Structures are given as structure tokens and as C-alpha cells.
A and B are shown apart, each in its own frame.
Chain A
Amino acid sequence: MEKKFNIEQPGLKSNPYSVPDGYFDNLQNSVSERISAGKRENGVLRILKPQLALVSVFAFVFLLGYGVFKLLPIQSSAPENSLTDRYSLLEECQLKSSFIDFYDQKTDSLTSVKKDIDPQEIIEYINTDVSILYLASLEF
């Protein structure tokens, strides 16, 4: 049977590790430097903290808005386009209705009617309708 290793044997507990020369002598200085560096860092952070917070809030709001416009391009741009279209259409109609071109032959109802009706048709119409002849005789 294999003999068990006795961990309580003398000399086994002594420390086999070592450190670089002067390590423990410099330990206090190293720790003091770390503490001072931490204090300086904390001081700068304390000053910059409110500004950083403000900048981050602005950045967050901007990104949020940008994200919303970027994520919803069709919904946000389509109504805008149709609205402009409507405005231009309305403007066009208003111009048409408010401005009458008296020299425009196309829109002149009197001349256009004259042009559209054939004189032969007028003669035929007069011939068929007696009341109109009667009215004409009354005029003379």
C-alpha cells in the first residue's frame, strides 16, 4: 500500500515564495501614489461630470429623434409630400377661380357657344319651334 504524504511534516509550511528586491520597502510609496492618482482622477471627474451628463442627454435626444425619422421614412415623408401636393393643387385652383382672362377665347362661353353651334342647326331649330317665331314677330 502506498504511504500517505504527511502535510504536517516539519519545514513544509515555510514560505517558498520570494519577491523582487526592495519590494516591501517600496510598497508604501506605491500605495500612496495610487491613492494620490485616484484622488486626482476623482477631482477631474467631479468637475467634468455635470458637463458630461448634459452632453450625453443632448446626444441621447438627438439620436432618439434621428432614429425615429430614420426608422419611419415612409410614414413621415408620405403625408408631407401629399400635403405639399394638396397645397399646390389648392393654389392652382384658387388662381384659376380668382383670375379671369377676358381675352381668353377658350374660356369665353359666348364665343365658344357660337363657334360650337352649327348655323344650319339654328335654322332647323327655328323652323320646328313655332313659339320662337311668335316671339320674334312680337319683337318687330
Chain B
Amino acid sequence: MDDKDLLALFREEGKEHYAFNLIVQKYGERLYWHIRKMVASHDDANDLLQNSLVKAWKALPGFREESRLFTWLYRITTNEVLTFLKKRQLRSFLSLTDYSGKLENVLESDIYFNGDSAKKALHKAVLRLPEKQRVVFNLRYFEEMKYEDISEILGTSVGALKASYHHAAKKIENSLQELL
């Protein structure tokens, strides 16, 4: 079922829950991986995904289809993740600790990480990126999303996104030289 049909079903009386379940079924996993690559921890990713989906449920009746459903869901999720990371960073700043270092430790001790040393190093390097750059890099590199779609999600021009991705890739290459 495509997004338009899902939205039409959602607007039918008494079928909101069914339609929303279909939306969760269609996009839940994809959104989860997007969050997980940002925060590393499964527990945090699960909380953030559920919060994002609850927010989407509340906001869906007012969704005017000015953007596509999947970019709209990605935008909600990304905002949720960025807010979460800001709070965590502030907390780390106040307790004089390094948050990206903490994220690397989470990755190091994560029982749900099955990659080899190269992959571990790559994901550690990704976690060292500034948050917004990390979002751009993850969406482009891992999810192979079009710049136009990323632009719709983040509200940033394609040119700026390309520059951001380029800088992120350079930083990761430098970090990998240090990590490997």
C-alpha cells in the first residue's frame, strides 16, 4: 500500500489505528536504524523511536501532505534524536565528560553490534561527527538517500548538504587512520 492510500485509510472513521499500524510496519524498522546509527544504544533508539511514532500519531491528523509521508516521519525522528543528543551533551558538559567518548564506549560494549574491527572503527568515527553532519552522512552513506530527500527532511539546500557530506567523509577518513 502506498503512502497516499495509507493516509486516506487513516482519515477514514474508525480506521486510524489500523492505518497507523500499517505505517509503523512500513517505516518503523527503517526509522529505527536511522536512530540507532545516531545514538548507538538499542535502549535509547527504542525510546526515541517510540516517542517519535507517538508524536507522529498525534500530528498525523494535521498532516497536509505538503511533503511526503516518509520524509515527514524522518523529520520528526531526526528532530527527536537531535533534541535527545543536545540534552545528553549538555548533561555531559555539566559533568565535565565527553559525550562522543561515551557513545564510543556504548558501541564498544554493545552486545548487539556484530561488525568486524573495520566496521567498528567506521561507526566510532561516525559517532565522533557533529550531530547534524552525522545525520547527513548517515542518510547519504548508509541509507543512500537522495540529496533532494535529505534536503526535504532537514530543510537545508542540496549544495550545503553536499558540502556537509564531503566534510564528514574527510573527517571520517582522518579518524579511521587514527583508529585502525
Contact = CB atoms under 8 A, between A and B. Distances in A.
Contacts, number: 76
B168 to A, nearest CB: 10
A16 interface: yes
B36 interface: yes
Contacts of B57: 31, 35
24 contacts: A2-B177, A5-B176, A5-B177, A7-B122, A13-B144, A14-B119, A15-B33, A16-B114, A16-B120, A17-B112, A17-B114, A18-B112, A20-B42, A23-B46, A24-B29, A27-B24, A28-B25, A30-B50, A31-B28, A31-B53, A31-B54, A32-B17, A35-B57, A38-B54
A28 B49 CA distance: 11
A25 to B, nearest CB: 10
Interface string A15-52: 11111100110011011101100100000000000000
B28 A28 contact: yes
Interface size class of A (residues with CB under 8 A): 20 to 34
A13 B180 contact: no
A32 B21 contact: yes
Contacts of A35: 17, 20, 54, 57
B28 A18 contact: no
Contact of B112 (A12, A20, A28): A20
Interface size class of B (residues with CB under 8 A): 35 or more
Interface string B105-118: 00000101111101
Given A5-B177, A20-B42, A31 B32 contact: no
Contacts of A20: 42, 112
B118 A34 contact: no
Nearest to B37: A17
B39 to A, nearest CB: 11
Interface string B46-66: 100110011001000000000
A13 B142 contact: yes
A106 interface: no
A4 B170 CA distance: 10
Contacts of B53: 31, 34
Nearest to A30: B50
Contacts of A31: 20, 24, 28, 50, 53-54, 57
A27 B54 CA distance: 12
B3 interface: no
Given A7-B172, A13-B142, A32-B21, A24 B32 contact: yes
